[in-house]
């Protein structure tokens, strides 16, 4: 299952919001390697058995979600931050080299 993300940027940072409902923050892994970002989330359901009960229908997702993408600039890994709240992961990824584009002056 692919994670849904919103990606924005300014001159100094990338900001990523990823929808990851129903996951413990301990089960989310984020890796940054240069300009490549990978997010992996494991959805676990505790095994619950009650005497005399059987499951008739189970529509809740169980498994892992993964998303990997490449940014235009390398990320300054030492200054990244992440926050997970109410099913939303927020990543703040500072750019290593500042701006991702350069305006070329035409002479």
Domains of the chain: residue spans and CATH = 4-94 (2.60.40.790)
Q: Band the pLDDT of 101: cuts 50, 70, 90.
A: low
Whether the predicted pLDDT of 71 surpasses 60? yes
**Residue 89: what are its φ and ψ, rounded to 5°?**
-95, 130
pLDDT tens-digit readout, 15-58: 999 999 888 899 999 999 999 999 999 887 655 556 677 777 76
pTM of the model: 0.74
């Amino acid at each position: 299952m692919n994670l849904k993300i919103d990606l924005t940027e300014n001159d100094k940072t990338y900001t990523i919001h990823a929808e990851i409902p129903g996951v413990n923050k301990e089960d989310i892994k984020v890796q940054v390697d240069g300009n490549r970002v990978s997010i992996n989330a494991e959805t676990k359901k505790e095994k619950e058995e009650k005497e005399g009960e059987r499951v008739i229908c189970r529509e809740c997702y169980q498994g892992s979600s993964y998303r990997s993408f490449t940014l235009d600039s390398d990320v300054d890994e030492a200054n990244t931050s992440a926050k997970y709240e109410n099913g939303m992961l927020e990543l703040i990824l500072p750019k290593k080299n500042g701006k991702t584009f350069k305006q070329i002056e035409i002479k």
